[in-house]
Amino acid sequence: MKTVSDYCSARGYQFKIIKDIGSGLNYNKKGLKELIKLICEREIDRIVINYKDRLIRFGYDIIEQMCDFNGVKIEIINYTEDKTYEEELVEDVLSIITVFSTKLYGSRSHKAKTIQQENKELFK
């Protein structure tokens, strides 16, 4: 985040940092929805990101087209070397596995907490 701030400040951009924490498969994030709204309402003229996959892990092409249609430029500070199709596929599959593993373990954790709470209430 500091890299993006420094980059924008050095170029004299007026900017706002929008950040999200969450899955690359979750499109219902507050920051992403805010960004899409800003793009569609033409309230911004550029998006500055540190790495391409920081904007959105899956569906980057859709966001890129939306930006093109609305005159918004995407500036990527740090380009990584071009990856082969196979390397990108492996990264995508690993990301998907990570997301679903997190959901699975989070679900189990939530169920365990619910069971513990019910047991406490039953055995008071």
CATH code assigned at 21: 3.40.50.1390
Per-residue pLDDT band for 63 (boundaries 50, 70, 90) equals: very high
Q: Which of 79, 95, 77 is nearest to 87 (CA)?
A: 95
Region of poorest pLDDT, from 12-16, 44-48, 116-120: 116-120
Say if residue 75 is in the same domain as residue 85.
Answer: no
Say if residue 74 is in the same domain as residue 30.
Answer: yes
Mean pLDDT for 3-27 is 84
Q: Give the amino acid at 59.
A: G
pTM, two decimal places: 0.64
Give CA–CA dist 37/34, Å, rounded: 5
Q: Which of 6, 70, 9 is nearest to 44 (CA)?
A: 70
